[in-house]
Chains A and B, each alone.
Chain A
Amino acid sequence: MYFEGTSKGKKIEVEIFEHPTEWLITLNDGELKETHAVKKWDYQRMDDAISFLFENTSYMINVHGEGVKYNVYTRGSYREIPLHNDESLLHESLKGGGGLTGGDSLSSGMPGKIVDILVAEGDEVKADQPVLIMEAMKMENEMRASRDCVIKEIKVEKGQSVESGSVLIVYGDK
């Protein structure tokens, strides 16, 4: 199977072939291409975690997520890894999930209340500029623009309660 993924903002091509006793996995980030033969013996699913002996380094791993995004946890660290191919993208779109959209809007990661909106439609904003303040988990959180853009549409009002995943502001290009 072939996947396209992202790790630390870098595009990675992943090819994986399953054999009875091992996986052959090729990682290619454009500069470096390496193939790893991961023995199933070295990647064992236990009740509570996956034990992964990678080049003799012992990782106790938990993986959550499915479809096109995987969250991998180990050694107090974690990584969100978007990983997809045509088939998984199709699965996601049929499921009604958003797939890989985003970046063109600001959405709420959790339920909360809009305390203040700091921009107006048509405003030009810089990346990292605060655009609205949302209250969630007892904190007022400043939400910032992800890139230089124009505020195309504001979908919420001051005082409004929003659900997790709601689109709050739509960005447009200058």
Chain B
Amino acid sequence: MTLRHFIPPMLALIAAVSCSRGTSGTKAKGTKAASGEVVVYVSEDRVFSEPVLKEFEKRSGINVRAVYDTEEAKGTGVMNRLIAEKSHPRADVYWANEPIRAEVLHQRGIAEKYVSPSVAGIPAKFRDPEGYWTGFSARYRVIVVRSGLNPAPSSVSDYADGRFRGQGVIASPLFGTTAIHVAALFTLWGDTKARTFMDAVKSNGTLISSSNGESADFVARGRASFALVDSDDAVARIRRGEKISIVYPDQNHGQPGVLVLPNAVVLIKGGPNPENGRRLIDFLLSRDVETMLAKADCAQVPLHSGLRPPAELKPPAELKTMTIDYRRVAQKMMELQEYLKRWAAN
């Protein structure tokens, strides 16, 4: 047998696969007739967001074409794609996993105003006042503590407390929710107090990890006693049987409260399918989606009143939550670029 004998079947194979359809979503089979498509760029993990988008396809009959993101440090992310495509957008909707990205898009003139009817029931503090983005399905920034630790930290400020020297770990503040939390503290405390705190965190022997997940693992495995992480990271470890517990920081009088970071949805200005984009946003902001995301492994906290959070977490109504101006936080994050780079490197 020679190479010649393989050529016809190889050509046939190439021809066969070239005729295969090229969409990654299921073809909509809803009760309504298929009515076009919607393009969504998604920063929420694919394993959690894809089922939601498939449910939308089923209910609406609209074909969803999605671009999914990777972890912040791994790739350029869909944010940069949105920014690069600003002159001729390809996306209709952006599903962000935290509100600062949505605010950045607003500040760069990429977002379109849209106030969905589904926002009824979502507190105003979790959406842009002008309607450029709306929050839903949130995470808390919590402290996970090794079981049996006494005393346990109760405030973010305890990272600088000598009682907890060498016991804390925090994710690198260059990326993601830790960067947002640091920027939020800067807006609340002012630059001087915040920089003093950051210096004290370092000098107090705090470990720097690469991600919130890694921080949670450090505590679970005993390499650290406490860590500031996202609530979904904490819940995932608790469900795995790790010996850790959750502390909601800064709940006392005079303290800022726990930081709440909702997912956020943005209508993209100039997108090819604006009407379908609005329908998708209405769906994402619905109580059904919040219930789906609360029950999923991502353990998101519903913002609509009356919906139950995951069993391991308290509802927002029972907590003191941080009140921040997301616009100022987004601006502060950009200002802190070089400072955070130096802080993380040294």
A binds B: no
